[in-house]
Structure formats: structure tokens, C-alpha cells
Structure 1
Amino acid sequence: MPRLADTTRSARRAQIVAAAVRCFARAGYHATTMADVATEAGVSKGTPYLYFPSKQALFLALYAEWDCGLADRVDAALDALPEHERRSPRRVLHTVATTVGAHVVDQPDTCRVLMEARTLAAYHPEIATAVRASNTRTHEQLEDLFRAGIAAGEWTGTTDPALAARLFTATLYGLMAEWHLDPHSISWRAVAAAVTSTPAARR
């Protein structure tokens, strides 16, 4: 019986999370209420609070799930590469970029939550902490990749790994916003080729 209860609880949590994604994507963080989420999920108004103590906690859970889902997808894409391509930092970076694009296309509502989180970080300390932590992890991984690419001769020695990492993420986030305005204006394959070609140089 406890095992069944755990399964039911997990399914209900997922139901609430899915409803929250739709609500936040449709109306934004400030306009969405926990009551809205409950209605969208088809549960009583108090049920979301059994899983998340506040709207902010629920929003942060969605932000974390985007990160986890994307990380899992990137790992799977890299595992699928032939061994010689996995040894190429440039090819790895290209795969990361195309995988991000595919995740945006497949999870547009969750992507909207990601983008709004970056705006909300200016006003909500807890959200800012989550965004900074995610940024730090991503930039550290990208900097290591650029350093490996420099050592392998795939990028020039004048490449600044820290700046290149930030330009890479800033470009992708900016194009996510453009894609939501006009999905047909963005080719993520072309984006991947562009952002892996010539990283920023040191001054």
C-alpha cells in the first residue's frame, strides 16, 4: 500500500507541475495563482500546497526540471556520438547547441518559464540564487570545453574561454526569445554551426 501511495503521489505531483507549466507559459509568473494551477490540474485549491509550499517554490521546481531535462537530453545526444566525435570539443559544443534547440522546440512552454526566470531573478532573491547556480554550472562546463578545444587546436589560442562561454549562452537565450516570437525565423542547426565557429578572442 505505501508503494502505491508513493506512485499516486508522484503522479499527482507531475500533474500539478504540468498544469503549472501551462499556466505560467500562458499568463506569466505574477498573473498566475496557485488556484489557477489547481483549476488547470483539475484538483482542489489546496492540493498544490501539499506538494509545493508556495507559488515561488513551484516555479523554482519547474526551472530545475528544465535544467535536469535538458542535461539528460544533452547527455543522451553526446552518448550517441561516435567515439571520434566525442573527442572533438567543437563537435561536442555543436551537439549541445542543436540539442538545446530541439529541447526548445519540443518543450516551448517550459522554455518560457526558463526565460521568465531570468527576468524575475532581478526582483526575487531565491529565483536569482537558482539562476546564478545554473549559470555557474553551465559556464564552468563550457569554459572547460573551450579550453579543451584550444588545446586540441580547434579554436585559436587567443580564444577567451570565459567570454566565449558567456557569449554562447547569451546567444542561445536571445534566440530562444526570437524563436517564440517567430518560430520559422530560426534554424537551430544553423545556429549551432554559427556559435561553434569562431569564439570570442582575448583582448
Structure 2
Amino acid sequence: MPAIVDKSAKRAEIIRHAAETFSRTGYHATKMQDIATQADIGKGTIYEYFRTKEELFLAIYDSWMTEFESIVRQRVDAADDAMSKVDAIRGSAVEFYESRAGQAPLLLEFWAHALRTDNTVFLTRVQRTRQFLHELGTQLTQQLVHSGWFTDVDVEAFTHLESGISDGIFLAWLLDGRQFPLAKAYTFRQSVIGLGLLSDTGRNVLSERLSAKLKRGF
């Protein structure tokens, strides 16, 4: 009697080995046989789960982002106020990036592939994550303005700007060989932004603490 295969577990295993292989040799240089060798399975087995290399590549991205979005949502929902929610997002992002430091180049490959491909499924999934973060950033910025922590600001413009700064810090961290502490860099960014947007009331409460962080740097 043939062994019963847990298809969900097998799929996850293939995704894990594919991530390791893509991270090591790059998306374009990697062949399905390379992934099969890494996973110690036949190439035909991979095709039972994924029709193309791009579909497998997308499955890695979807797996990672689904996990990340779930963690962010849980922590944001558990936070008591807007400031705590901002801290929850920052902490979740740092934790996610650092936990995948060895495979971090693959995250850049996702971005690069999104610029090249016309695969609507891939592009839609990438956009879903960016939209999730954008909507969350917009909501929190509005809350910070309405609660009196932030001065009045163009919420949409600020959310786009903050997203670009965050992506830039991550990119610099990778290109510099992870030589600076990512968590402190994101905290430093938050302090710079905070001092620029704080209302008079918020500045009175937080200026001393944020100024100290600016002096320490990262």
C-alpha cells in the first residue's frame, strides 16, 4: 500500500528548499532540478505542486507575506493606542527581516521580479501586501493626528514617504552587509519623523526622549 503523503506539508517543504536555493543562486540562474536536488526529491514531484518556476517563486513570497501580515495584524490589534501600534509594526518588520537575514537577497529579487513580470497573479499578490501596509499606515497616521500627537499633515503623502524611507533603510542594511543594527535604525527613523510631526503637546511629552535617541544615533 503506497504511503500517504501530507500534501500540505510536502508543499511547504518544497517552498522552504526553493527559498534556500533561490537565495543562494538567484531566481534566473536557478533550475527546477536544482531545487529538486536541494529537497532530495525528483523534479517531477515539484511539478505535481507547481506548474512553473515562477509559480513556485510566487508561493515563497505568498508564504512569507501571509505570515508577516498575520503577525502585524495580531500585534496591532493587541496594542492599546496608536503609538503602541506604530511600535508593533516596527518591531514586526525588524523581526521579520532579521529572521530571514540569510535569505534577505530573495526579498530584493521579489521586488525586481515585480518590475519585470507581466504575470498578473504575481503583481496582484505584491500589490496586496503593499496595500495592506499602506492602509495600515494611513489609519495610524490619521489616529495620531486626531488624537493630537501629530500636527495636521497630508496623511496620504506622509504614508507614501514613510514607506519609501522604510524600504530604503532595509535596502541600505542589505547593501552595507548588515553592518548597522536594523532595529536601532528604524527607531532612529521614527525619532526623526516624530520630532518633525509632533504637535506642541506631543513634543512637550516626547521631545526629551526622542532627542536623546537622535543624539545616540544607531
Task: Decide which structure has the larger Cα Rg and report it.
Answer: 2
- Structure with the larger RCO, 1 or 2 (CA within 8 Å, 6+ apart): 1
Matched residue SS, 1:183 = coil
The answer (yes or no) to whether the contact 2:169–2:185 under 8 Å persists in 1 is no
The answer (yes or no) to whether the contact 2:134–2:159 under 8 Å persists in 1 is yes
Q: 2-side partners of 1:193 and 1:185: how far apart?
A: 12
| Residue-pair matches, total | 192
Match of 1:77 among 65, 75, 78: 75
Match of 2:112 in 1: 119
CA offset digits 1:140-170 (Å, max 9, x no partner): 221111111111111111x222222222222
Match of 1:33 in 2: 31
CA shift, 1:197, in A, is 5.1
RMSD (Å), alpha carbons = 2.4
Task: Kindly provide the amino acid, as one letter, of the partner of residue 100 in structure 1.
Answer: A
CA shift, 1:93, in A, is 1.3
Match of 2:99 among 102, 106, 112: 106
* Within-5 A mapping of 1:133-148: 133-148=128-143
The answer (yes or no) to whether the contact 1:120–1:128 under 8 Å persists in 2 is no
Give ranges in structure 2 of 5+ residues lacking alignment.
198-218
The answer (yes or no) to whether the contact 1:21–1:110 under 8 Å persists in 2 is yes
In the superposition, relative to structure 1, how do residues 60 and 13 fare at CA in structure 2: closer, same or farther (>3 Å)? same
Task: Kindly provide the amino acid, as one letter, of the partner of residue 71 in structure 1.
Answer: E
The answer (yes or no) to whether the contact 1:73–1:99 under 8 Å persists in 2 is yes
Q: 2-side partners of 1:91 and 1:122: how far apart?
A: 34
Match of 2:52 in 1: 54
Q: Give the TM-score, by structure 1 length.
A: 0.83
Match of 1:16 in 2: 14
CA offset digits 1:42-68 (Å, max 9, x no partner): 100111111111111111111111211
The answer (yes or no) to whether the contact 1:90–1:149 under 8 Å persists in 2 is yes
**Match status 1:96 vs 2:89:** yes
The answer (yes or no) to whether the contact 1:90–1:196 under 8 Å persists in 2 is no
Q: Give the TM-score, by structure 2 length.
A: 0.77
The answer (yes or no) to whether the contact 1:23–1:40 under 8 Å persists in 2 is yes
Q: Taking every aligned residue pair, what percent have the same amino acid on both sides?
A: 27
